[in-house]
């Protein structure tokens, strides 16, 4: 049985949980607060970041959301996520990386710091300028999603792919933090509503962090 060392509002942990649930691979969830830099955790992953996936029986340790996603794509046939010809697969990987790097650095990470970490860990007030900038850039990212969905059925093309699960994982975190203004983004909102209604997504939406309460609409498929 896989043990997933993860943090509830870590978008990369959420991405792996979605991939594993979609592929029907069970995992025991183990809560890890990355900022504590627990010795045993840093020994497993020198980057000190979630997610880490462990299977003690076969002595396997998998680190990082993309290596883990590729691992299950290679080993589990169910719900292919990096599909199509090689060029199509490159487009899925390009967008996945776009969300994991660009959307994360510019929007998700600063919002997590200001709205979660400062509240939970350092007990500081959020920096309103950083918040405002992140939400403004977040809005540009939603525009880009709208643009993609104007031209394609799913984010990376005609079929549901890892790019959709990755974008949904990141958006679900900032939506929990009340930092998504859905007005004016009908395409993305409709797409996200479909993502939210997938059985794999339900456990994520049902979960609550201590202290931080999501907005009313957070777990609603119609929002």
Q: Does residue 107 carry a catalytic annotation?
A: no
- Give the residue with the Cβ less far from a copy of itself, 141 or 185: 141
- The residue from 79, 109, 127, 144 that contacts a copy of itself (CB under 8 A) is 144
User: Which residue from 176, 169, 173 is spatially nearest to 212, judged by alpha carbons?
Assistant: 176
**Residues shown for the chain:** 223
DSSP result, 155-213:
TTBSS--HHHHHHHHHHHHHHHTT----TT-HHHHHHHHHHHTSGGGHHHHH---SS--
User: What is the edge-to-edge ordering of all strands in the sheet holding 2-6?
Assistant: 27-31, 2-6, 52-55, 60-63
- Binding region for a copy of itself (CB under 8 A) out of 29-37, 98-106, 157-165, 188-196: 98-106
- Whole-angstrom Cα Rg for the chain: 17
Q: Is 86 in the site for a copy of itself (CB under 8 A)?
A: yes
8-state DSSP, 133: H
Binding map of a copy of itself across residues 59-78, x = CB under 8 A, - = no contact? -x-xxx-xxx-xx--xx---
**Residues 43, 87, 211, 222: which binds a copy of itself (CB under 8 A)?**
87
**Which one of the listed residues 5, 10, 145, 168 is annotated catalytic?**
10
Give the residue, chosen from 3, 29, 80, 102, that forms a contact with a copy of itself under the rule CB under 8 A: 102
Torsion sign across C-alpha atoms 214, 174, 110, 140 = negative
Binding site for a copy of itself (CB under 8 A): 46-47, 60, 62-64, 66-68, 70-71, 74-75, 86-87, 89-91, 93-94, 97-98, 101-102, 144
**Residues with a known catalytic role:** 10
């Amino acid at each position: 049985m896989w043990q997933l060392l993860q943090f509830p509002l870590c978008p990369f942990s959420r991405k792996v949980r979605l991939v594993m649930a979609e592929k029907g691979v069970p995992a025991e969830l183990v809560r890890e607060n990355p900022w504590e830099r627990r010795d045993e955790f840093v020994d497993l992953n020198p980057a000190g970041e979630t997610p880490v996936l462990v299977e003690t029986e076969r002595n396997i340790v998998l680190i990082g959301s993309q290596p883990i996603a590729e691992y299950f794509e290679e080993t589990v046939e169910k719900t292919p996520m990096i599909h199509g010809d090689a060029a199509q697969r490159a487009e899925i990987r390009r967008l996945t990386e776009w969300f994991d790097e660009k959307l994360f650095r510019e929007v998700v990470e600063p919002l997590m710091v200001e709205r979660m970490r400062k509240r939970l860990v350092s007990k500081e007030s959020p920096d309103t300028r950083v918040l405002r900038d992140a939400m403004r850039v977040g809005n540009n990212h939603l525009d880009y999603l709208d643009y993609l969905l104007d031209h394609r059925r799913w984010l990376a093309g005609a079929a549901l792919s890892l790019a959709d699960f990755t974008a949904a994982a990141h958006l679900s975190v900032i939506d929990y933090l009340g930092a998504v203004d859905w007005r004016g983004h009908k395409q993305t909102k409709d797409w996200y509503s479909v993502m939210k209604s997938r059985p794999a997504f339900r456990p994520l939406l049902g979960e609550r962090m201590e202290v931080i309460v999501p907005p009313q609409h957070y777990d609603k498929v119609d929002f």
